[in-house]
Amino acid sequence: MRIDFPRAWGLFAPRALALSALLLLSSTACDDGFEAHPGSDAHGDSLTDLMDAELLDDSKLDGAHDSEEDTFVPPQFYPPRTDDFACNTAKRVAACDSALLHDGAPIPSDPSDLLTLVNRWYAAPDDFPVPAGSVWTPCDGTEPGFTHNLVCVPSTYSNGPKPLRADAWETQSPADIPLTYDGLPIGSRGVVGFRGLLEAARIEGGFEILVTSGFRSFQTQTELHEYYVQAELNGGLSEAEARIYASTYSARPGHSEHQLGVTADLIYRRNGALYPGLDEAMGDSDEFQWVMANAHRFGIVLTYGQSKVATTQYVYEPWHFRYVGVQAANEMRRCDLNTEEFLDARYGLEPLPAYEGDYVILWSDARFVEHLTLPPGSKAAPGEHLVKTWRVQNNGTTNWWNLKLVNVGGDLSPVETDVYCVLAGETVDLSVELDAPATPGFANGLWQLQDETGLVFGDVLQLSLSVE
């Protein structure tokens, strides 16, 4: 689950201040061949380990894979969609022909099932897979006296001692599924799971990607969640507000996918330097672009996507990946459904009920990027037919779904344009068609996006003309 605050949210300053005192400690070798931070209790994802591994930082390392040579970059175009399919979960579910969605499966009673649903509403048992109150992990190097299926990730693939479930770390590639739905080879060297993914990242992409957080017991998640609640309290929030804010980026005990043991937060090392925290910018790196393009080959999916905030009710986490098995991962990606959407449909569940913290994590915004046609000061003949195009980014956390680009001022024709679907984070080229005024002179027009309630938002888009 997420361990940092969106940097744009001023109310999250207490967490940033709380973490600013923590330094990312260099690892030292343990007797068992794995690494732990000095002073760590070697419980794998202990609270100290998690804090060390997941500092918030506004910086980003220089790209090791960036070319120093100037190369020709062809112009990019971002045409708007002509329907709302990508924004409409119900339509995507209806169009998905996956057998996993239509086999009438009940919600698993066994939490070790790879398709167990854990979210804001459904929880894992307190005593799975270790007894309630225990912080034991296999990275301790001790025998616990109870049955488990956890392993310690080798230090070459982890940032400190990190446990995962054995099948999520390494499973033999299925012989009956040689290729992904889009024609990519399944697994690498006969292995799927996180080991296969991380090995392939090094072999195929030259990327050093590491597990920085894996299995967390119910007790560890309790301690972590309460740490964040306290940080919010220290920042001046009330008890109720602190719990709401903390629960938008840290799951309550029992409701974290990390407790299942099949989920890992990933980080990367470049030129010997570890990326200095977990933040949304990681999703734009070459390393994580590779992971997102290849994870389904290894039975792995991204849970908290940028366009899925309203669905999951958690902030965007480009580092949080879950092993669900090769078949499910491919069906989820092919149908553009994340675990929340896919498992709700599989088990015949309604979407999550409204969440009291939505006001913290959901907002609509639009950022002007550039003028593509008719830049300021353009000239037009009287009555000339014009097409004005702006490049705009959806820099909010909600998808633009069945909106309109409407005229909000000026003396140009008040035309409007339908905007069917733009996912959070996407860039789109939006246009209006109109005729220049019949009378010479200066003319100006202003447009903004408008939602179905009539609310306008985002940057104002301007067209100014000299008609002559």
Q: Is the pLDDT of residue 13 over 60?
A: no
Alpha-carbon distance of 302 to 101, in angstroms, equals 19
Q: How far apart are CA 48 and CA 278, in angstroms?
A: 15
Helix (H) or strand (E) holding 208: strand 208-213
Q: What are the CA-CA distances from residue 224 to residues 78, 161, 178, 200 (Å)?
A: 41, 17, 40, 32
β-strand pairing of 263-270 with 320-323: antiparallel
Sorted by where each begins, the domain ranges of the chain are 10-70+92-358, 363-467
Q: What is the mean pLDDT of the chain?
A: 87
- Identify any residues that bridge with 104 across adjacent strands, giving them in sequence order: none
User: Which run of H or E residues covers position 230?
Assistant: helix 218-234
pLDDT digits (tens, 9 = 90+) for 389-444: 999 999 999 999 999 999 999 999 999 999 999 999 999 999 999 999 999 999 99
Q: What is the mean pLDDT of residues 171-181?
A: 97
Q: Which of 358, 362, 253, 275 is nearest to 319 (CA)?
A: 275
SS3 19: helix
Question: What's the rounded Cα separation, in Å, for the pair 370 and 205?
Answer: 33
How far apart are the C-alpha atoms of 401 and 85, rounded to whole Å? 10
Q: How many angstroms separate the CA atoms of 53 and 276, rounded?
A: 8
Give me the pLDDT at residue 217, please. Answer: 97
User: What digits encode the pLDDT tens for the residues 54-67?
Assistant: 433 333 333 334 44
- 218-234 vs 239-246: helix crossing angle, rounded to 10: 130
Question: Are the C-beta atoms of 116 and 303 separated by less than 8 Å?
Answer: no
In angstroms, the CA 2 to CA 320 distance is: 8
- Count the alpha carbons within 13 Å of 328 in the hemisphere toward its beta carbon: 24
The confidence score (pLDDT) of residue 72 equals 66
Report the range of poorest mean pLDDT among 1-15, 144-158, 243-257, 351-365: 1-15
Q: What is the pLDDT of residue 145?
A: 87
Give dist(CA 231, CA 51) in Å, integer: 13
What pLDDT digit, counting tens, does each position of 308-357 carry? 999 999 999 999 999 999 999 999 999 999 999 999 999 999 999 999 99
Is there a contact between 336 and 305 (Cβ–Cβ < 8 Å)?
no
* Least confident among 9-18, 120-129, 451-460: 9-18
Contact (Cβ atoms closer than 8 angstroms) between residue 129 and residue 148: yes
The Cα diameter of the chain in Å comes to 88
| Tokens linked to 15 | 């967490």
| pLDDT for position 76 | 82
The conformation of residue 350, written as its DSSP 8-state character, comes to: P
Identical fold, 10-70+92-358 and 363-467: no
pLDDT of residue 80: 96
Q: β-pairing, 300-302 with 320-323?
A: antiparallel
pTM: 0.85
What are the pLDDT digits (tens) for 56-115? 333 333 333 444 455 666 678 899 999 999 999 999 999 999 999 988 899 999 999 999
Is residue 153 within 8 Å of 32, Cβ to Cβ? no
Q: For position 306, what pLDDT does the model report?
A: 97
Quick one: which of 58, 297, 93, 317 has its CA closest to 197? 297
Q: What's residue 143's pLDDT?
A: 86
Identify residue 49 by its one-letter amino acid code. Answer: D
Q: How far apart are CA 460 and CA 465, in angstroms?
A: 16
Q: What is the pLDDT of residues 185-211, one digit of tens each?
A: 999 999 999 999 999 999 999 999 999
Q: Which CATH class is domain 10-70+92-358?
A: alpha beta
Question: Is the pLDDT score of 33 beyond 60?
Answer: no
Identify the pLDDT of residue 221: 98
Fold observed for domain 363-467: Immunoglobulin-like (2.60.40)
11-15, 268-272, 344-348: least confidently modelled range: 11-15
| 30-43 CB burial, b ≥16 within 10 A, e <16 | beeebbbbeebebb
User: Following DSSP, what letter does each residue of 441-462 receive, concatenated?
Assistant: EEEEEEEEEE-TTS-EEEEEEE
What are the pLDDT digits (tens) for 137-151?
999 999 898 989 999
Using DSSP, state whether 263 is helix, strand or coil.
Answer: strand
List, as one string, the DSSP characters of 99-128. GGGSS-PPPPSSTTSTT---SSS----TTS
End-to-end CA distance of the chain: 59
* Residue 50's pLDDT band (cuts 50, 70, 90): low
Angstrom distance (rounded) from CA 461 to CA 468? 23
pLDDT over threshold 60, residue 264: yes
Q: Which helix (H) or strand (E) holds 152?
A: strand 150-152
The mean-pLDDT minimum among 163-167, 354-358, 365-369 falls in 354-358
Residues that are catalytic: 317
- At residue 396, the pLDDT reads 98
Q: Above pLDDT 90, what percent of the chain?
A: 81
pLDDT on residue 102? 83
Can you give the pLDDT at residue 44?
Answer: 47
